[in-house]
């Protein structure tokens, strides 16, 4: 044994040579190196999961928020209001005061996003406005009263119910017989609501053909005129701003504290009253596209209704046959495309030359929600 | 004076053998790493499956809420019993598009065209998930031709509707998806619907 010594097994006091040390280090790296690929893959996957989970949850939360308002749209309109009447739809087309539970806006809002090479792209996104009766005012029931004056400065005098919770600037819905109108409260004094022109939303119109004027006209053939019903309602719009924020905008009265009192106590919420008063709530970010399609009564295929209010709520497009009415909308289909707020720099998308600084995660989400717009079921396609 | 121990180190061969042994050990451990790598992939699939299941349930509830089809149509279609007005196929199906009626799980899934109240046969169109808007950065038509779409090939869905009583039905939605670790997993959503509605105005 002792005679069989060789170079490698010789027992002496010398350590490794530098060459030996380097050689072993290289071997170690060669053998262990491939294992690091697993760690890298794990790192990438973790990064993907963290970013996409966040993305998906935000999108789903936004979808639920929209779904709740969509489901409420038209709530308590039925059966009191004949919102399916042709008169109202014609009024829409004429740009007059109309109210439907769902008011679509097709490709109204540009949103800036980027394509795979990093260039800015502008997408056109839809918006939707949803209307429903405010259940916190008089339990969602109408108060009744009389309409005292004709024309600007018209006064509604309460005969039954309470005006608690109604403020100047609030949106109200007035109905007598077959006449319907929306309006904005100008002022309240005691039991008298004044409706005058010059309101923040421009809704109070007293032209000869406007419903606000028609409300004051006696209904022919009735010895005793029926009272006017008054509802307070919510007016909520979902849209995407150009930075990709999905916004829930609630149209509100100007800041107020007491009925008819001075607006000298700040509301906790921040209003923007430059043009109209509203409260914006960003419910999702990174929206690349938002599209609504609508299913109308009678299980028809998804459509984009043609009564498409443009600027000022006036119809911009009378469309081609069949003419789907806004009041026929029974379901709203929402298609949401979201993108992560920032690039994932752990993962690099080699196929996208402009995205060398990282990769944007995207997620596509669809939802379908019924509308409580239950008034009309006698859907008749308009073939004009 | 205590004698010093001989200062022998390891030989190169010993070190090399040790390296090989360590490597074998690490390779064995890499199995755990593989699990760590594929688990996020599983959660991704699971996220898609959850969204799809939610979407399926939403279409069914929306159809009930909007009453675009009658309450009786929320039942399993039975071709041998024409009087049964159900539109739902029941059973495990591919993850087909909801079809013209916009409701998942019904007899026109996977087809295109005009809504037909009479049940025909299922189509073949699979649900596609938009992954990327493509080079133009735009999703919607007519810019959607270059979108990257992911067809959910190995996903299945099952919508079962059972009567609890005349006015109440139980809906069970199951979305089954492939697990990257092998085998399949599923997401199950259940709810009940009733035929309660506000009366229509007249």
**Closest-CA distance of chain B to residue A200, Å:** 32
Q: pLDDT over 70 for what percent of chain A?
A: 66
Between vectors from CA A255 to CA A249 and to CA A256, what angle results, nearest 5°?
130
pLDDT band at B155 (very low <50, low <70, confident <90, very high): very high
The pLDDT-based confidence of B17 (bands split at 50, 70, 90) is confident
CB-CB under 8 Å, B140 with A291: yes
Place of tokens 């109309």: A98
Average pLDDT for chain B: 81
Check residues A10 and A368 and name the one with the higher pLDDT: A368
Mutate to test the interface with A, among B58, B104, B197 (most CBs of A within 10 A): B58
CB contact under 8 Å between B9 and A302, yes or no, is no
Q: Give which of A45, A46, A229 to mutate to test B binding, by max B Cβ within 10 Å.
A: A45
Between CA A213 and CA A95 the distance in angstroms is: 16
pLDDT at B201: 36
- Give the pLDDT confidence score for residue B7 in this predicted structure: 66
Q: At A108, list the tokens.
A: 């109204």
Predicted-assembly ipTM surpassing the 0.85 threshold: no
Q: Does B129 touch chain A (CB under 8 A)?
A: yes
Smallest CA–CA separation between A9 and chain B, in Å? 7
What are the C-alpha distances in Å from B102 to residues A32, A33, B69?
A: 54, 53, 11
Residue-by-residue DSSP string for A201-266:
TS-----TTSHHHHTTSPPTT-SSPPPEEEEEEEEEEEEE-TTS-EEEEEE-PPS-SSTT----S-
CB < 8 Å to B197, chain A = 374
From the number of C-beta atoms within 10 Å of its C-beta (0-12, 13-18, 19+), residue A81 rates as buried
Which two three-digit tokens encode residue A221?
Answer: 């053939």
Q: Please tell me the predicted confidence (pLDDT) of residue A348.
A: 62
Measure Cα distances from A202 to A184, A197, A268, A280, A359 in Å: 8, 7, 26, 20, 46
For residue A187, the cross-strand partners are: A194
pLDDT above 60 (res A215):
yes
Q: Which residue has the tokens 């100007």?
A: A254
CA A90 to chain CA centroid, nearest Å: 26
pLDDT value of position A161:
85
Burial A242-275 (b: 16+ CB within 10 A, else e): eebbbbbbebbbebbeebbeeeeeeeeeebeeee
Assess contact for A272 and B86: CB atoms under 8 A: no
Summarize chain B as % helix, strand, coil (round to 5): 30, 25, 45
Q: What is the pLDDT of residues A107-130, one digit of tens each?
A: 778 898 887 777 888 988 888 888
Contacts of B135 in chain A (CB under 8 A): 115-117
Q: Which residues pair with A332 in a beta bridge?
A: A294, A369
Decide if B66 and A331 are in contact by the 8 Å CB cutoff: yes
Residue in B with minimal Cα distance to A75: B198
> Can you give the pLDDT at residue A62?
92
pLDDT digits (tens, 9 = 90+) for A54-65: 888 888 899 999
Testing the interface with A: which of B6, B117, B137, B181 to mutate, by most A Cβ within 10 A? B137
B6–A35 C-beta distance less than 8 A: no
Q: Confirm or reject contact between B55 and chain A (CB < 8 A).
A: yes
**Minimal Cα distance from A291: which residue of B?**
B140
- Does A302 sit within 8 Å of B12, measured CB to CB? no
**A81 contacts in B (CB within 8 Å)?**
201
Distance from the A133 Cα atom to the nearest Cα atom in chain B, whole angstroms: 15
Q: Which of A119, A295, A301 is the closest to B114 by Cβ?
A: A301
Residue A110: helix, strand or coil by DSSP?
A: strand
CB contact (8 A) between residue B114 and residue A16: no
Q: What are phi and psi of B27, to 5 degrees?
A: -60, -40
Closest to A147 (Cα-Cα) out of A214, A203, A95: A214
Nearest to B82 by CA among B122, B118, B121, B123: B118
Least confident of A280-294, A370-384, B92-106, B188-202: A370-384
C-alpha–C-alpha distance, residues A82 and A229, integer Å: 13
CB pairs under 8 A between A and B: 180
| pLDDT above 50 (res A78) | no
């Amino acid at each position: 044994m002792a005679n069989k010594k060789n170079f490698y097994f010789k027992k002496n006091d010398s350590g490794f040579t530098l060459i030996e040390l380097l050689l072993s280090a290289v071997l170690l790296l060669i053998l262990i190196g491939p294992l690091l690929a697993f760690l890298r893959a794990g790192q990438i996957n973790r990064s993907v999961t963290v970013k996409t989970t966040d993305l998906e949850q935000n999108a789903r939360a936004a979808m639920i928020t929209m779904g709740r308002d969509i489901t409420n749209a038209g709530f308590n309109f039925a059966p009191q209001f004949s919102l399916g009447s042709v008169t109202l739809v014609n009024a829409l087309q004429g740009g007059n005061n109309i109210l439907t539970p769902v008011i679509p806006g097709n490709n109204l809002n540009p949103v800036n996003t980027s394509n795979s090479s990093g260039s800015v792209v502008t997408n056109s996104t839809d918006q939707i406005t949803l209307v429903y009766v405010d259940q916190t005012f008089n339990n969602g029931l109408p108060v009744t009263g009389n309409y005292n004056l004709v024309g600007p400065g018209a006064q509604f005098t309460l005969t039954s119910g309470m005006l608690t919770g109604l403020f100047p600037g609030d949106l109200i819905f007035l109905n007598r017989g077959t006449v319907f109108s929306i309006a904005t409260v100008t002022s309240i004094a005691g039991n008298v609501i004044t409706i005058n022109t010059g309101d923040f939303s421009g809704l109070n119109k007293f032209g000869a053909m406007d419903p606000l004027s028609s409300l004051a006209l006696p209904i022919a053939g009735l010895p005793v005129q029926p009272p006017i019903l008054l509802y307070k309602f919510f007016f909520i719009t979902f849209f995407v701003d150009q930075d990709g924020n999905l916004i829930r905008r609630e149209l509100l009265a100007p800041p107020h504290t007491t009925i008819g009192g001075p607006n000298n106590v700040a509301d906790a919420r921040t209003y923007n009253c430059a043009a109209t008063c509203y409260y914006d709530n960003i419910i999702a970010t990174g929206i690349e596209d938002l599209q609504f399609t609508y299913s109308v009564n009678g299980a028809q295929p998804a459509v984009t209704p043609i009564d498409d209010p443009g600027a000022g709520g006036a119809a911009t497009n009378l469309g081609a046959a069949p003419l789907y009415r806004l009041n026929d909308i029974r379901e709203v289909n929402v298609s949401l495309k979201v993108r992560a707020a920032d690039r994932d720099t752990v993962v690099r998308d080699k196929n996208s030359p402009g995205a060398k600084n990282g990769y944007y995660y995207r997620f596509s989400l669809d939802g379908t929600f019924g509308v409580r717009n239950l008034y009309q079921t006698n859907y008749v396609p308009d073939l004009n | 004076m205590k004698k010093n121990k001989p200062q022998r180190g390891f030989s190169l061969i010993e070190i090399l053998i040790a390296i090989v042994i360590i490597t074998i050990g690490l390779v064995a451990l890499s199995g755990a790493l593989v699990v760590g790598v594929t688990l996020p992939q599983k959660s991704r699939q699971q996220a898609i499956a959850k969204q799809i299941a939610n979407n399926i349930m939403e279409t069914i509830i929306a159809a009930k809420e909007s009453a675009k089809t009658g309450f009786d149509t929320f039942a399993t279609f039975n071709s041998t019993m024409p009087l049964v007005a159900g539109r739902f196929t029941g059973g495990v199906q591919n993850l087909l598009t909801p079809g013209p009626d916009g409701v998942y799980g019904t007899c026109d899934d996977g087809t295109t065209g005009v809504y037909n109240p009479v049940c025909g046969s299922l189509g073949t169109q699979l649900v596609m998930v938009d992954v990327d808007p493509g080079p133009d950065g735009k999703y919607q038509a007519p810019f959607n031709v270059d979108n990257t779409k992911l067809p959910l090939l190995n996903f299945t869905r099952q919508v079962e509707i059972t009567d609890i009583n005349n006015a109440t039905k139980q809906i069970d939605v199951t979305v089954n998806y492939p697990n990257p670790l092998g085998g399949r997993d599923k997401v199950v959503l259940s709810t009940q619907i009733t035929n309660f509605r506000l009366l229509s105005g007249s």
